[in-house]
Structure 1
Amino acid sequence: MKAFQVKAPHDYQVVDIDTPTANAGEVLVRVAFAGICGSDMHIIHGDNAFVRFPRITGHEFAGVVESLGDNVEGVAIGDRVCVDPVISCGECYPCRIGRPNVCSSLEVIGVHRDGGFEELVAVPAANVHRLPDHIGLDAAALVEPYTIAANVLDRMQPHPGDCLMILGAGVIGMTILQMALAKGIKDVIVTDVINERLAAAKELGATHVFNSREHDVEQEVLALTQGEGVPLIADAACVPALLPQMLRLASAAGRIGLLGFSVQPSDLVQLEVIKKELTLVGSRLNNRKFPEVLGLMASGQLDPLALVSHRLPLSDMPSAIDMLDHRPEEARKVLIQIST
C-alpha cells in the first residue's frame, strides 16, 4: 500500500509499504482524508525534537474502520471515525491530575509512531471517535486542529466580555478564531503579515484585523482598548521575538497562551509580568477535546471546510510541501485525499 514517509530531514517520498494489522486493543482505519499541519512541516525540516525517523507523518485524519484487533469494544467495522493522536500512559503525574496531553511517556500518532498519510493505519481503539452522520470525512479530518484551539482557550480561562487577540492568521489562528466565537467571545483582534489571511479572518468573524507590517499594532490595539490592553492573547504566530510585545499589550491580569515549539530564547521583562500579574500558559496538543469539537461541528458552530484551500491526492504530497514551503500565501489548509 501507499504511504508518505519522511526518512530523514528533507528526505521524503511516497513509498510502498506493508499493510499494517491491528494488534489487541487497536483498530485498523482506512484513511479517507488527512490534513497537512505545520507540525508535519517541522518534521520534514528536521525541526521537531520529538520525532523518530523514518516516520509516516500525519496526525489530522479521518476514515472508516476496516478491522478490529482483539479485545476491542464500542467500535465496529464500517464506523466513520476521526482519531485523537494523543496516546498517554494513564499513570504518571500529568495523567493522574487530568492532563494526559503532557504525559511523561507521551506518544503522538504521526510523530512517535506512524500516522495518517497512509492508506491504512493501526491506532488504539480508545483514540477513535465516531462521527455524527452529517459530518463528512473531509471535515472530520480537521477536528484535531480545532482541539488545539479549544485547548489553548481552556488554558487561558476566558471570562465573560473578554477581548481576544490572535497573533497569526494561519490555520491554527483561524481555528482559535472560530472556536472563540463559538464559545461566546465576541471581540477578536487578529494580526498577520499576509493581507489575504487577514481578509479570511475578517470573513470568519474577526472584529478587527491588522497587518503588523503596515500598522503600529501596539498603538492600534491600545487605542481600541482605551489603553487597557487585551485580557487574552493567543500566540498562533509562534515567533519568540513577539513575546515582549505580547507582554506590553496584555491587560493587567491578562493571560497569554503560547503554542510554539521554537528553541530560540524569548526576552521576558519580569517587571511587565509582575506589575500586571500576568499568566503565561503553554498549550500542547489537546486534553480530551474531541467530543467538544465534534459537538460544536455537528451544531454548525464551526466551519472547518472554510479553511480548506486545496484537496490533493497522496501522490501530490511532494508538490503540496513545495507550495507550503515556497508559496504559503497560496494555501490555507491542504487536505490530502487518500481513499474514497
Structure 2
Amino acid sequence: MRAAVLVKPGTFELRDVPRPEPGPTEALVRITRTGICGTDLHIFHGNYAADALPMIPGHEFTGHIAALGSEVQGLKEGQSVVVDMNIGCTRCYYCRRNEVLNCPEMRQMGITMDGAFADYISVPARLVIPAPEHVPANVLALTEPLSCVVRAARKSQVSFGQSALVIGAGPIGNLHVQLLRTIGAAPIIVTDLSADRVQMAVDCGADIGVSDPLQLEQAVRDSTDGRGTDIVIESVGNAALYQQALGLMRKGGHLAAFGLTGPDTALPLDILTTILQETSVKGSVAGVGEDMHDALTLLTHGRIKTDPFTTADFDLEDIQMAFESYADRSDDLKTQIVMA
C-alpha cells in the first residue's frame, strides 16, 4: 500500500509498504480521508514526538472496513467508520475512568505509532465507530477534532447563559465557538490576529469578534458588565496568551487550557488570588470514548457548520506540499489528505 512516511522533521517520503493484516481483535480500515491536525504540524516541524520518527502520521481519519479479525463481532466489511485514535490498556485505574490519555501504556495512532496518512490502517475493533453512510467523508473526518472540543467543554462544565472567550480562531477555536453556541453560552467572544478567521468564527456563531489585541480587554469588560468572562478557552498554545487569559476571566471563572505549548513553558500563577477568587484552570487535550460518539452525533445531525472546514483537499502524493503551504493558507480552516 501507499504510505506517507515522515522520515525526519520537514520531510515526507511516499513509500510502498506492506499492508497491515488485522489481528484476531482488530479491524482493517481502508482510509478515505485524513485531516491535518495542529499536532501533525508540530510533529512535521520537529517540535513533538521526534523520537517516534520515521513514522506514518495522521489521526483524524475516516474510511471503510476492509477486513475483520476472527474474533470481531458487531462490525461488518464495507461499513463507513471513524476511529478513536487513543489506545489504552483497558485495565488500569485511568482506563476504567475514561481517562485513557493518562494510561501508562497509552499509545496514539499517528503520534506514537503509525497512523492514517496511508491507504490502510489496522486498529483495535473496540475503537471503531460505525458512521452513517449518508454523511460525507470530508465531514466524518472532522469527528476526531470535534471530539477534542467536546471533551474540553465537558471538562469545563460549560452551561447555557455563561459568557465565554475563545482565544484563537483557527480550526479548533472555530469548533470551540460552535460548540459553545450549541450548548447555549452567551455572549461568545472570539479573538485572533487574523481578521478573516475572526469573521469566519462570527459567521459560525460568535457574538463578538476582536482582531486588534489592544481592544480585547475593553470588549470583554463591555460585554460582561465589567466582570470578565465565566470561561476562557486558550486554543493557541502561547504562554503570553495564557497569562492574558487569567486576567480576562471573572472572579470564580475557569480557564480551559487547550492550546499546546512547548514542554518547558511555565505559567506564573498567583496562588493567593486563585484561592481568594476561587478561579480554576483545567487542561484538556483529546477526545476519548464517548467524546467521539458525541462528536459524531453532532456532525450527523448538522449541529456544526462544516463548510469552512471542507475547502482544501490534497492527494496523498502531494502531502509534502500540503504541509509546507499550510501556514500560507489562512483561509483554509482544515486541510484533508484524500486517499480514496
Scaled by the length of structure 1, the TM-score of the pair is 0.95
Matched, 1:143 2:149: no
The 3-state SS of whatever aligns with 2:81 is: strand
1:236-279 C-alpha deviation (Å, 9 max, x unpaired): 11111112211111111111111233222223233442232111
Contact 2:309/2:332, CA 8 A, preserved across alignment: no
**Alpha-carbon offset, residue 165 of structure 1:** 0.8
Measured in 1, the distance between the counterparts of 2:307 and 2:50 equals 30
Measured in 2, the distance between the counterparts of 1:225 and 1:181 equals 17
Contact 1:26/1:122, CA 8 A, preserved across alignment: yes
Structure 1 residue ranges (4+ consecutive) displaced by more than 4 angstroms after TM superposition:
none
**Alpha-carbon offset, residue 49 of structure 1:** 4.0
**Equivalent residue letter for 2:225:** Q
1:93-150 C-alpha deviation (Å, 9 max, x unpaired): 2223332232222111111111111001111111111112321111101100100110
The 3-state SS of whatever aligns with 1:190 is: strand
Matched, 1:161 2:164: no
Partner of 2:25: 25
Correspondence for 1:291 among 284, 290, 293: 293
Partner of 1:170: 170
Correspondence for 2:325 among 323, 326, 335: 323
The 3-state SS of whatever aligns with 2:251 is: strand
Correspondence for 1:307 among 303, 306, 309: 309
Partner of 2:283: 282
The 3-state SS of whatever aligns with 1:55 is: coil
**Alpha-carbon offset, residue 92 of structure 1:** 2.2
Unaligned runs of 5+ in 1: none
Measured in 2, the distance between the counterparts of 1:208 and 1:245 equals 18
Please say which of residues 300-309 and 193-202 is displaced more in the overlay.
300-309
Contact 1:20/1:121, CA 8 A, preserved across alignment: yes
Measured in 1, the distance between the counterparts of 2:259 and 2:186 equals 25
Contact 1:102/1:284, CA 8 A, preserved across alignment: no
Partner of 2:86: 86
Matches within 5 A, 1:212-227: 212-213=212-213, 215-227=214-226
Contact 2:22/2:67, CA 8 A, preserved across alignment: yes
RMSD over aligned Cα, in angstroms? 1.5
The 3-state SS of whatever aligns with 1:39 is: helix
**Equivalent residue letter for 1:193:** L
Unaligned runs of 5+ in 2: none
Contact 2:2/2:16, CA 8 A, preserved across alignment: yes
Please say which of residues 190-199 and 87-96 is displaced more in the overlay.
87-96
**Alpha-carbon offset, residue 186 of structure 1:** 3.7
Give aligned pairs, total.
Answer: 337
Matched, 1:249 2:248: yes
**Equivalent residue letter for 1:305:** D
**Alpha-carbon offset, residue 62 of structure 1:** 0.2
**Equivalent residue letter for 2:161:** G
